[in-house]
Amino acid sequence: MGSARPERASSDLRAEPVALVTGASRGIGAAVARRLSADGMAVVVNSFPSEPMISLAKQVVEEIHDVGGRALVVPADVTEPAQVESMFDECESEFGSVTTLVLNAASTDRHEWTDISLREWNEILAVNLTSGFLCCRRAFRSPCDAGASVIVVSSVLAETGAPNALHYGTTKAGLLGFTRSLAREVGPAGARVNCLLPGAIQTEEERESFDSEDLDRTVLAHQVLKRRGRPEDVANVVSFLAGPDSSFLTGQTLRVDAGWTMM
């Protein structure tokens, strides 16, 4: 999001908006990457540096390439400052300065709260909260571009809480304060920061962790809209926040939850 960009062979490529999506191998992150590419952005698809996640990220990039988009897989553990630095360096070398940063990387597990070890607490904190700080610190190291957009993906659990998810809910609530504070820091330069609170979205991780029929019944009983949320539903709102139609919106929290948590 710095003002300096490396020289490219084409002025058209230099002008192309660039999105970096963390945790984009699957689920919401993958849907966001595909949508921002469809919106005309070059997209960096970040994945955790493990073979399964890299393989999934490559599939996302192939899908983007198949429809004429520009995308690149950059594996990086976004809790590690050196890897965050390298990720942005590679993005800037290939596409130019990031104009849209989507902070989607997250980790969760479920434990009775008294059984959460300090190691587990710190690991969740690092992935869900500290990684966003590291990415934004690197992105805004140079004076930011007017119109740059940071989109923070939190969760409705930031507001509602949930049993057996104390560490997860705490980090997601922390992202609300992070969003508002960062919006005040970068707003005078013309950059925007907003936060999404997805509700119960059908993802691969959900299918791996829960009984689908039982969860569907629970979710639909709480939602006003009686269908399950899809990753694309979240990606559509990210697209809005990344685009010019939201240019007067910053420091805000949008709930993408079919009315579960109307407040």
110-134-130 Cα angle (round to 5): 25
Closest CA to 87 of 73, 76, 72: 76
Cβ neighbours of residue 243 under 8 Å, at least 6 residues apart? Answer: 39
User: Could you tell me if 241 and 249 are in contact, meaning their C-beta atoms sit under 8 angstroms apart?
Assistant: yes
Residues with catalytic roles: 168, 172
Q: Residues of 112-126 as b/e, b for ≥16 C-beta within 10 angstroms?
A: eeeebeeeebeebbb
219-221-222 Cα angle (round to 5): 70
Written as one string, the DSSP assignment of 113-153 is GGG--HHHHHHHHIIIIIHHHHHHHHHTSSPBPTT-EEEEE
Question: From CA 197, how far away is CA 172, in angstroms rounded?
Answer: 9
Category of 211 on φ-ψ map: left (φ > 0), alpha (ψ -120 to 50) or beta: beta
Question: From CA 194, how far away is CA 118, in angstroms rounded?
Answer: 30
Q: Distance between alpha carbon 17 and the CA centroid of its chain, in Å?
A: 17
